Structure 1
């Protein structure tokens, strides 16, 4: 699996400023954000660092990762940042949609944390093979969405020979893939998805706010669902340079390019690769996206 070297300095500054989201004493943590939402009051604690609110002449890709750092806490926070969005509308939309990868990153991390602590049949729930398959599938979907949106934010067309195919994938496919991945994680969360207390309570906030960002009317009309050359997209040199096509081809979200089917989860050696990579990143506190940025989150 390829680790992408991207301009993440601003994102690292944001992460350090926000601190460990699970620390109950952190005024910028999940607990404080949830309390502010429940009370319908402004967030205390100075969520936005000066480096973010005062940044100018930042590349779109640097903004992408800085916004992901915010979206990992709350997608709604991204609205408070007046970023210099690209003039090109598809690239600007790709920036917002791609930022929601940060929300999925946190939701996946919360789910892994929950399943490791929950015991079923005398063993940690995360040891159940089916649950591991679902987690591996969500990881694959996250990476797929990262590849498509990162290229779009850079202004690269993954498949210039098929005009509009990459744009259709970013504007039409990626939001549905991210939403589907969040929905599958909500099933793994079980009753904890509905309980609005404790450290898992943030999951519902992440899902609801990400959904609003992904499908906001301001994003404009989505391309009509239609045939999408998925295999050509993920095997094209720009996409294949970011991620092994074998892994993107295992993403359950790929079936959204065809008539409705039950999303097949990764299996066999590919599933083992994806799950091992997910665990390695979780244990070493690194993001699940292509950059593998270091995080302040404790396992």
Structure 2
């Protein structure tokens, strides 16, 4: 057999490659996974919406509860303010402690303290917020009866000085007295800073300060202070205090930690069993016996 040249010039046709077989199982798996993913996304979205709704509801409930609680607090506070309470307030509890700024406290109270001179003796007095003095006088001075006793029949021998060591003398006159409770009122012609009278009776354990001008005429200790506590109360008017009261302190005020007068220092005595007692008479007695306090 012979072959001519044309036989070699014709291209040789090769067979096409066999088709790649498809993996039908893999496609089904992919569709399944996509379906599961879509379901998960939908569930998560729904859960997120549900949670957001619950959070919004919770916030709304909390806001309502907060407003309700605040309203209850305001209403309760208002009711408590309107009703007198037998329980001590924060201010009353503070009466058991000394003032925060004791130096400023003493300076403030000292402005109302005076020295009362009668004949050859002297004592202490203080400007009071009592009103109703005679014409020409501007301030009531509270003191003890035994301080001015010798001047009742000799009023010209009565004099009052104020201003501490500066000792500015002022016109004074006896207004009235209560010998039984050892209290007296003097009128002075100048206006002095007054001490406020406490509106409530003192209680055992409360902090106290006694202030006065003890010492003889020529050696007066101006605005000397002693500190203590109420140790007993008798008949509401007689306050027993551990604050020392010296001769010359008689007639001075016993004040609480607010600077309010809770008594007039009157006398002290020593008991062998109990010790030193100092007694301050409540100024309410003045309103019942000496002057009409309105």
Task: Give TM-score scaled by structure 2 length.
Answer: 0.21
Larger RCO of the pair (alpha carbons < 8 Å, separation 6+): 1
Higher relative strand content:
2
Higher relative helix content:
1
> Is the radius of gyration larger for structure 1 or structure 2?
2
Task: Give TM-score scaled by structure 1 length.
Answer: 0.21
